[in-house]
Chains A and B, each alone.
Chain A
Amino acid sequence: MPDIREQEAIARKLLPIIYVLDTSGSMSGDRIAAVNSAMNETMEVLKDVSKNNPTAELKIGVLQFASGASWITDKGLVFMDDFYWNDLKAGGLTDLGVALEELDKKLSRSAFLNSSVGYKVPVIIFMSDGGPTDDYEAALKKVNASNRWFRAAVKIAIAVGDGADREVLAKIVGNPEAVIRVDDLETLKKLIRVVSVTAFVLGSQSRSNNDASDDIIKGIKDQMGMDTEDDKSGGKGGDGTGVNPDKPEETPPQPGDWPDWPDW
């Protein structure tokens, strides 16, 4: 039998969480600072909750859009352990359509989604505080028609403030329920964390019902205002002494109680 210590980690699917973040001019100042601070903190929490997840390994993608769109993770999705948040700067237009074109390009086995173990259904988290300044409709139509990954993805949108075009976001994520509105920055920070963690925890679970989105959205709404770390009940500390009645006690024989068996 090969040494047990040669055992590899169990095969797990990869779960992509892709952030599509609005870094247009209206996000500058407090808003982008809040996003940066929330993402920094969220990455730490995600590292913690994803570490021992038995079903999926987390990979992160970040796409920012303003005047045009660019991948922060331009070489592909990044494993959590290798991912560090670099603060985003805001400025420019709101080219949501270009962002959708980028998603269409990279959500493909020949681009970001190549892997021999394969993936769980991706999670795409959109965040915007405005309305598109380009022809997002054509891009949305195209990505929906031609990209199965995008169609299957769990899509959630965070609409920041009054200026966010919630109708457009609802069209993109395909469900008005999946657009979550937030007004103040403290709630925004909390929401980014809750959405990310809930999407990971519920998205990594195997499921037998079709719509993971519904569960995730319900989970997010239930848990806003609370932390959502992975279950670790049982706790730490204390001591676990105890005798198992099922196991013979293997007290080493004391000198003297070993018989001589002269006549066996």
Chain B
Amino acid sequence: MAIFEPGKVLRTNLGEPITVDSFIASGGQGDVYKVTYGGKAKALKWYRPKALKDPDAFYESLKRNTEKGSPDRAFLWPEAVTERTEDSFGYIMDLRPEKYKELAEVLVSSGGGGFRTFKAVVEACIRIVAAFRVLHVRGYSYQDMNGGNFFIDPATGDVLICDNDNVAPNGTYTGINGTPQYMAPEIVVGAAKPDTHTDEFSLAVVLFMLLCASHPLEGEHWAVPCLTPDIERMLYGSRATFIFDPVDASNRPVRGIHNNVLKRWGYLPEYMRTIFLNAFSREAITNPNKRVREINWLKALARFQSDIVRCPACDNEIFIINAASTRCDKCGKLYEVKHTLKLYEYSVTAAKNTRIYRCQLGVCNADEALTPVGYVLAKPDDPNVLGFRNVSRTVMSATTPSGVTRQVKDGDIIPLKPGIRVEVFDGEIMIQ
């Protein structure tokens, strides 16, 4: 319920005016308004008085976050805090554009929740991991990942992350334990408080939910007549078991209920299945130090993205297996992989729009994981002629099969011709 009328003027803690334009929505802790601040349309989140357990500490933490600034453009980060007035306070952030849909909404919708391609789903995963990597590198933990704080543009996979008011330096307890389905098991059983390792678990849940449209721990253990708190504590905590646990088969997905994951799991590339098996292994569930690191998600997801192509006959998306020609599972036509790029650990299909990132070239530090290296493009007047464009902002060196070495400047395009070896950063790409 709106408590501020349009035209109401509030001030930031530094005295700058914020003019309320309209009421947007109510939330669990307060209300969101459209406001004008610094000449721009922004969102104001205003806490309901008494909604926060420790408002003084919360206010200080918010203020610190505004001073430090946003770690990544994906975060709808608090830009400014209001002064403390009317028994409460609020903060200013960017407005969320209309086309972005809440993750929860995507998941509960049939028909893919607005996603039209799997490539966009993978893109959303990459954006989320990349944003949390930066957040964690900065020493923050997010604390309360859930389906309500990711906003996704299903057309492109772009992601905005909101509710950054709980973000705090790793190890700080803000009074928030998280949202049970997404919480790490050690928080569910009351043995730990949120930190970066519990964020890592939540991140794996979010990625699984996006890629499989099912919950990784909800199988037969979940499909009981009545999900009482006792059962939930076991399901997400003391007896948390991955639905595809290789040893314990007691929590498998149930046909007729968990259809999405049953249909999709088998299609996922083996390396994606493996990384999920690692992320939800008994070891990773019980030992916070054994969680999958963001760099490893980025490596797997970047590879996955390059393995998704479109069937030229029926336009269906095909997940290329082992960078070799793969049959379209819809129309049966063989997708011929004409060229591949051999990277450090594996090869990827070289098709139009295949992108190569630094993390695919070999060992690199997490900061550089998503540094673009290059991408495949088609000649404008002849789609059958493919080239590889250097976007690495460095000079590559390319050696032809006959042994001639050339410099390839940033922005230059080289032909996708088998036998050319490209050296870039500390790694190499073999065109095959």
| A contact residues around B341 at 8 Å (CB) | none
| A contact residues around B112 at 8 Å (CB) | 3-7
Cβ of A259 to closest chain B Cβ, rounded Å: 6
Contact of B173 with A by CB under 8 A:
no
Q: Quick one: which of A227-264 are within 8 Å of B by CB?
A: 227-240, 242, 244, 246-250, 252-255, 257-259, 261, 264
Query: A116-136 toward B: CB 8 Å interface, digit per residue (1/0)?
Result: 111111000000000000000
| A contact residues around B27 at 8 Å (CB) | 229-233
Query: A1-19 toward B: CB 8 Å interface, digit per residue (1/0)?
Result: 1111111111111000000
- Please choose the segment from A24-32, A48-56, A63-71, A89-97 that sits at the chain B interface, where 4 or more of its residues have CB less than 8 A away: A48-56
Complex partner residue of B223 from A118, A205, A211, A230, CB under 8 angstroms: A118
* Alpha-carbon gap, A257 to B410, bound state (A): 13
* Alpha-carbon gap, A12 to B260, bound state (A): 13
Query: B249-270 toward A: CB 8 Å interface, digit per residue (1/0)?
Result: 0000010111110011001000
Contact across chains for A121 and B189 when beta carbons are under 8 A apart = no
Contact across chains for A253 and B127 when beta carbons are under 8 A apart = no
* Alpha-carbon gap, A51 to B104, bound state (A): 10
Complex partner residue of B379 from A1, A6, A209, A258, CB under 8 angstroms: A258
Q: For chain A, which range describes its interface: under 10, 10 to 19, 20 to 34, or 35 or more residues?
A: 35 or more
| B contact residues around A88 at 8 Å (CB) | none
* Alpha-carbon gap, A67 to B224, bound state (A): 37
Contact across chains for A9 and B107 when beta carbons are under 8 A apart = yes
Q: For chain B, which range describes its interface: under 10, 10 to 19, 20 to 34, or 35 or more residues?
A: 35 or more
| B contact residues around A238 at 8 Å (CB) | 41, 94-97
Central interface residue in B147, B381, B412, by most chain A CB within 10 Å: B147
Contact of B132 with A by CB under 8 A:
no
Contact across chains for A210 and B229 when beta carbons are under 8 A apart = yes
Contact across chains for A10 and B118 when beta carbons are under 8 A apart = no
Q: Quick one: which of A106-121 are within 8 Å of B by CB?
A: 109, 113, 115-121
Q: Quick one: which of A141-158 are within 8 Å of B by CB?
A: 148-149, 152
Contact across chains for A55 and B181 when beta carbons are under 8 A apart = yes
Complex partner residue of B117 from A4, A8, A119, A239, CB under 8 angstroms: A4
* Alpha-carbon gap, A248 to B267, bound state (A): 27
Contact across chains for B188 and A244 when beta carbons are under 8 A apart = no
* Alpha-carbon gap, A219 to B190, bound state (A): 22
Contact of B427 with A by CB under 8 A:
no
Contact across chains for A232 and B25 when beta carbons are under 8 A apart = yes
Contact of A206 with B by CB under 8 A:
yes
* Alpha-carbon gap, A255 to B218, bound state (A): 53
Contact across chains for A208 and B95 when beta carbons are under 8 A apart = no
Contact of B417 with A by CB under 8 A:
yes
Query: B20-54 toward A: CB 8 Å interface, digit per residue (1/0)?
Result: 00001111110011100000010101001011000
Contact across chains for A232 and B415 when beta carbons are under 8 A apart = no
Cβ of A67 to closest chain B Cβ, rounded Å: 33
Contact across chains for B28 and A231 when beta carbons are under 8 A apart = yes
**Would you give 14 A-B contacts (Cβ < 8 Å), ordered by A?**
A4-B118, A116-B256, A118-B227, A227-B1, A228-B28, A230-B148, A234-B162, A235-B33, A240-B100, A246-B130, A246-B370, A247-B372, A248-B372, A248-B391
